Chain A
Amino acid sequence: MAFYVVQFLTGLASAAALFLVASGLSIIFGVTRIVNFAHGAFYMLGAYVAFTLTERFSGALGFWGGIVVAALVVAAVGVLVEMVLLRRIYHAPELFQLLATFGLTLMVEDLVVLIWGPDDLVGRRAPGFRGAIDFFGQNVPSYDLFLIALGPVVLGVLWLLFQRTRWGILVRAATQDRDMVAALGVNQKWLFTSVFALGVFLAALGGALQIPRDAVNHAMDLRVIVEVFVVVVIGGLGSIIGAFVAAVLVSELNAFGILIFPKISIILVFLVMAVVLIVRPWGLFGKPEAPARRTPGLTVNPWRPLTSNERLAAIAALIVAAALPFFAGNYALTVGSEIAIFVIFAASLHFLMSVGGLASFGHAAYFGLGAYGVALLAKLAGLPMIACLLLGPLLGLAGAAVFGFFAVQLSGVYFAMLTLAFAQIVWSIAFQWVSVTGGDNGILGVWPSSWAASPSHFYWLSLGIAALAVVILRIIVFSPFGFALRATRDSPLRSEAIGINGKRIQWTAFVIAGTVAGLAGALFAYLKGSVFPDNMGISLSVDALVMVLLGGVETVSGAVIGAIVYKALNIWLISKTDLSKLVLGAFVVLIVVAFPKGIVGTLETILYRRRKSTSSPSPILTSRIETAE
């Protein structure tokens, strides 16, 4: 019995650590609607700075003072980031801020190694909390008891802050209705900065408090960020109590789960999130979002099919690309194939995001399913390449059909997180089902047939399929189905009123996007000759998201440019420097500031404005389809 009590307490201690970080994220999202990908980076910075301070200053005061000062220092960095970077892009399309914080995260990962060195750093134990307390023969670390007490204290302080201060009232009001608060004359800038500072302070405090139990290293951020997101979403976005309950739930399920299923940790949080979101679409303590007042796709330049001149230009670009094998070497061609494949992948996510208004955080699942489909067909069934390429993506289709059905019941960030949960579940199956998928050692030897084996042939194949995929997706965008999908995105209520079955339309779009992603994955398997669980991992999903945002989410085919720029730069940087993350992150941040609508989006806006000022507006163009509400 004593064991179960101690295990429960241990779970509570883990929950407290998780809650500190999660509460900060929840507050930031609730008010600013920023999906703060850099939250893990601030957590990690908190730990590093606290390590330096606690090593420098001795004694209890040095330790506890160091922890608090570290959190304050990092919060100051957070303020700087908010004022210099995020303020510029609050009015950018939804999720664009994710791109900025993603760039920051990349930079911080390399920076901490540059500053603190590559070794794992083990900090001091907390003065006064070194040992353990005997509980009926079981040892409970006293630091755990400290954390268990700290969790509710922080919860209480936050509750008082939000319920009993004027600032708290404003924050709650902004969480509920940002625009109304602004309309009432509250200084949003000041409010956002202070909220961001508080959130970052909590993240850094959470990181600093890990010093006595963890090793400080440059991978801490990614270790915590996804888990924290999951906790926030399970609890309900913007709900502090929800974050607390979710942290306890997840930690206790893990503490007791490993007694029965020792391998459960790897997937547990995602399973819990999937179940919670299917049963309660807004998390445990979240409230249904009010109907959007603005249209999500607020484009100034309405979409239209390419003009004949633009078509000619596109065909010319394709011909130039197709001529690459005549003057480039094998390496350039293989890189070209890889870029073409990522164009397909990014275009499929872009279709879902821009046309469907559904931002998936787990799109790599369908890419990976396509790749595994090919690998399994080729290795187990021994099918030829053509058959594999045709049948492999069907696994992506099947996955998208099943998961999409549940996912489209949700919207916004909840939709994104459910797709992430599904992707992680698929990933963990590929990772754990060693007898079929080979686990993390993957499936090797999936090389193309001889007719496609030479780099130039494979390049033409990839390029051809990429061009075809982009054209087909564009045709769908401007088909009646595409218009229905856009109607559902822009106004669910109105589209329903005119008889559009929104959920079914979105589900179909999800399946289309999943199948195209599967096609990209199938090609990728042949390009690399092997398939690994990586092919459906979070980082690939994030890459796709970055490509779409970089290109411009409010364009028809911006992802094509986004994919080319991001992938080419990534491959080039990783080949040229070990600090590729730092340079790439800085580049992403620069792009965010310079092109707040994405590369293509910003260029289109400039062109559109110029065209409007020179020529008399044609009646079709002025009917502002996209901005209507």
Chain B
Amino acid sequence: MRGYVVGAGLAIAVATMAGNAMAQSGEVKIGEINSYSLLPAFTEPYRKGWQLAVEEVNASGGINGKKLVVVSKDDGGKPADAQTAANELVSSENVAMLTGTFLSNIGLAVSDFANQKKVFFLAAEPLTDAITWSKGNRYTFRLRPSNYMQASMLVEEAAKLPAKRWATIAPNYEYGQSAVAVFKKLMSEKRPDIQWVDEQWPPQGKIDAGPVVQAVAAANPEAILNVTFGADLVKLVREGNTRGLFKDRKVVSFLTGEPEYLDPLKEETPEGWIVTGYPWYSLKTPEHEAFLKAYQAKYNDYPRLGSIVGYQTIKSAAAILAKANSTDPEKLIAAAEGIAVPSPFGEITFRKIDHQSTLGAFIGKTALKDGKGIMVDTVYRKGSDYLPGDAEIEKLRPKD
């Protein structure tokens, strides 16, 4: 319960300090956009997460006494529709800020919209590095650890492996491409002796797994980097298991430890993959236990990583609104830069320099238990330890 209490306490403390400068009655609206109809496997738990957060915020006094309301819109997985939704939220619903989005291109589209219309935007999920760096802008903040951060967490473990011949399998779109590019770059820096012997780029959602597995096996790598997820991952794992691709080979894999992607694999879960993910079953910190208890009590279901993302997005947004005590975007930016927020994974900070949060990720190995895939030997990696130095970020990010 501590995270919850701390969050509530913080909100109340800020509220009393600011002395209710905001309008006395009424509500504070947050606009939320996500690909509900396209990606229900992620967005259903995500929605449950943010609904829980709204409930908690309002139970502890709302935003400085005002009720927090989240207006949620579906973008159907299309950037253009996401912009229509963003426009509706800003123009018709008069929301104080925008949050949400899953796909990188949608995140970028909304971020560009926010920049143009001068609206505060807290991106929840999009992993692309561009959203905070090369195409970053002062109105956009991002919660989840970026591609770069997850890659450098994985590289840390991968570099310890003796393997020298590496192959990569990644979906053929920006996320897959940049994940592989960052991983290769960081890996080659740490281990100049490594050879990249094969790369496969199946189209996202349309992997023809048999030929891909066969082609990778033919290159005879000692280790494999996998970036596919969802249905593609299932097909890849099934073909790989049958054809013995993963036997005596190390595999490093993005996102595979997330319950969204690990659970469907059931007894086919390959063992010993080094993955990023969310081991909700073995996390014993008080912050997380409080979250877990509240979540299970409300939904009678276990949380996925999407639940954490949804929950923490709204919790962070509420903290920013409470601190700014205003809906003016400039004040929101000032409040958000450097703000520290409690989270189920421990306290996180939204960095001033690139608006990236320091939320981290769990690294561990996959294992089978009672016919189900789980993560074992998990360690939490703080986001702040896996970001490049300030000088480098100055170079990456355009000046406001």
- Looking at A65-73, A311-319, A329-337, A595-603, the stretch in contact with chain B turns out to be A329-337
Decide if B41 is an interface residue (CB 8 Å cutoff): yes
Contact of B84 among A141, A227, A334, A579 (CB under 8 A): A334
Decide if A62 is an interface residue (CB 8 Å cutoff): no
Decide if B334 is an interface residue (CB 8 Å cutoff): no
Q: How far is the CA of A121 from the CA of B234 in the complex (A)?
A: 10
Cβ of A201 to closest chain B Cβ, rounded Å: 24
Decide if A441 is an interface residue (CB 8 Å cutoff): yes
Contact of A213 among B44, B73, B238 (CB under 8 A): B238
B257-288 contact mask (Cβ, 8 Å, vs A): 1 or 0: 00010011110100000000000000000000
Q: How far is the CA of A562 from the CA of B279 in the complex (A)?
A: 50
Contact of A119 among B36, B38, B212, B264 (CB under 8 A): B264
Contact call A263/B234, Cβ cutoff below 8 A: no
Decide if B74 is an interface residue (CB 8 Å cutoff): yes
Known: A120-B234, A217-B41, A334-B84. A3 touches B266 (CB 8 A): no
Contact call A218/B243, Cβ cutoff below 8 A: no
> Which chain A residue lies CB-closest to B135?
A444
Decide if A110 is an interface residue (CB 8 Å cutoff): yes
- Looking at A182-190, A251-259, A283-291, the stretch in contact with chain B turns out to be A251-259
Decide if B5 is an interface residue (CB 8 Å cutoff): no
Q: Is the interface of B mostly helix, strand, loop or mixed?
A: helix
> Which chain A residue lies CB-closest to B75?
A574
Cβ of B31 to closest chain A Cβ, rounded Å: 12
Decide if A586 is an interface residue (CB 8 Å cutoff): no
Q: How far is the CA of A3 from the CA of B213 in the complex (A)?
A: 12
**B residues within 8 A CB of A82?**
none
- Looking at A19-27, A397-405, A472-480, A529-537, the stretch in contact with chain B turns out to be A529-537
Cβ of B22 to closest chain A Cβ, rounded Å: 24
- Looking at B107-115, B141-149, B325-333, B342-350, the stretch in contact with chain A turns out to be B107-115
Contact call A530/B201, Cβ cutoff below 8 A: no
Q: How far is the CA of A521 from the CA of B103 in the complex (A)?
A: 23
Contact of A331 among B36, B91, B112 (CB under 8 A): B91
> Which chain A residue lies CB-closest to B173?
A440
Contact call A442/B79, Cβ cutoff below 8 A: yes
Q: How far is the CA of A528 from the CA of B214 in the complex (A)?
A: 43
Contact call B243/A132, Cβ cutoff below 8 A: yes
Which residues A131-160 have CB closer than 8 A to chain B? 131-132, 138-141, 143-144
Contact call B85/A574, Cβ cutoff below 8 A: yes
**A residues within 8 A CB of B85?**
574-575
**B residues within 8 A CB of A3?**
214, 218
Which residues A3-17 have CB closer than 8 A to chain B? 3, 6-7, 10-11, 13-14
Q: How far is the CA of A3 from the CA of B217 in the complex (A)?
A: 9
Decide if B51 is an interface residue (CB 8 Å cutoff): no
Known: A120-B231, A329-B91, A534-B79. A440 touches B206 (CB 8 A): no
Contact of A529 among B36, B73, B113, B130 (CB under 8 A): B113
Contact call B40/A218, Cβ cutoff below 8 A: yes
Decide if B87 is an interface residue (CB 8 Å cutoff): yes
Contact call B210/A334, Cβ cutoff below 8 A: no
Decide if B37 is an interface residue (CB 8 Å cutoff): yes
> Which chain A residue lies CB-closest to B103?
A440
Q: How far is the CA of A331 from the CA of B95 in the complex (A)?
A: 13
Contact call B264/A10, Cβ cutoff below 8 A: no
**A residues within 8 A CB of B105?**
440-442, 532, 534
> Which chain A residue lies CB-closest to B84?
A571
Decide if A214 is an interface residue (CB 8 Å cutoff): yes
Contact call A139/B264, Cβ cutoff below 8 A: no
A332-372 contact mask (Cβ, 8 Å, vs B): 1 or 0: 00110010000000000000000000000000000000000
Contact of B268 among A110, A122, A447 (CB under 8 A): A122
Decide if A382 is an interface residue (CB 8 Å cutoff): no
Contact call B80/A122, Cβ cutoff below 8 A: no
Contact call A215/B235, Cβ cutoff below 8 A: yes
Contact call A139/B174, Cβ cutoff below 8 A: no
B192-211 contact mask (Cβ, 8 Å, vs A): 1 or 0: 00000011111101101111
Decide if A305 is an interface residue (CB 8 Å cutoff): no
Q: How far is the CA of A455 from the CA of B44 in the complex (A)?
A: 34
**A residues within 8 A CB of B135?**
441, 444
Known: A120-B264, A141-B239. A132 touches B174 (CB 8 A): no
**B residues within 8 A CB of A118?**
40-41, 43-44
> Which chain B residue lies CB-closest to A448?
B116
Cβ of B297 to closest chain A Cβ, rounded Å: 21
Decide if B177 is an interface residue (CB 8 Å cutoff): yes
Contact call B208/A580, Cβ cutoff below 8 A: no
26 contacts between A and B (CB under 8 A): A6-B214, A10-B211, A118-B41, A120-B234, A130-B242, A132-B243, A132-B244, A139-B242, A140-B243, A213-B238, A217-B230, A219-B38, A258-B200, A258-B202, A258-B215, A266-B201, A335-B84, A441-B135, A445-B112, A455-B91, A528-B79, A535-B80, A539-B78, A578-B74, A580-B74, A581-B37
Contacts A214-B235, A444-B108, A529-B83 known; 6 new A-B pairs at CB < 8 A: A122-B234, A141-B242, A529-B116, A539-B78, A574-B76, A575-B73
Name B's A-contacting residues (CB within 8 A): 36-38, 40-41, 43-44, 73-76, 78-81, 83-85, 87-88, 91-92, 104-105, 108-109, 112-113, 115-116, 128, 130, 135, 172-174, 177, 198-203, 205-206, 208-212, 214-215, 217-218, 230-231, 234-235, 238-239, 242-244, 260, 263-266, 268
